[in-house]
Amino acid sequence: MVQPIYVYGSQVLREVAAPVDLNDAEHIKSLVQDLKDTLAQAEGCGLAAPQIGVSERVVIVDGDVMADVYPYLKGFKRTLINPVILEESEKKCEYNEGCLSVPGIYADVLRPVSMKVAYYNENLEKVEEAFDKFGCRMVQHELSHLDGNLFVDNVAPIRKKMLTKKLLNIAHGKVSAHYNTKIK
């Protein structure tokens, strides 16, 4: 079911998400479906459970929406449950990011170019996978949500200062998005 997306200023976005109970398959199935439905409606490339008000360690990414720019992302869809970063490259790159929880704001963020993650997929199978290029960036961005971090926390200080008014407007409900948003 499509859920509202919590936006900047919502406490749930600043919490460290708890591991999801792997024994509760029905809850996981329902949460993953809500994430997929909400992401499809919002037309984004990734979504973390805290963004729909559930402080649990589950994220999804869907590279299909970026496949016109990055053809290698065609069919790149992942559900990561209780993910753990095993390795990150020392080499980093900068890319202009946006976020469904921070509508209308984009800023350059420096992140590792590759990483290795252990997680459970939606069939609750243990997976270890290496990510690179834009797939890595999508996964990193979503995993940050699980630790209460937003991409605007990682921008240059001068850029963040320039964004302060826009961020405060979002936090005070002055937000425009083509999807349903919520502040709590």
Residue 157 makes CB contacts below 8 A (sequence gap 6+) with none
Apex 47 CA angle, 104 and 68, nearest 5: 70
Nearest residue to 2 via CA among 27, 50, 36, 29: 36
Nearest residue to 35 via CA among 79, 93, 101, 88: 79
Catalytic residues: 142
Q: How much is the CA Rg of the chain, to the nearest whole Å?
A: 16
- Alpha carbons 72 and 98: distance in angstroms, whole number: 21
Q: Are 1 and 39 in contact (CB under 8 A)?
A: no
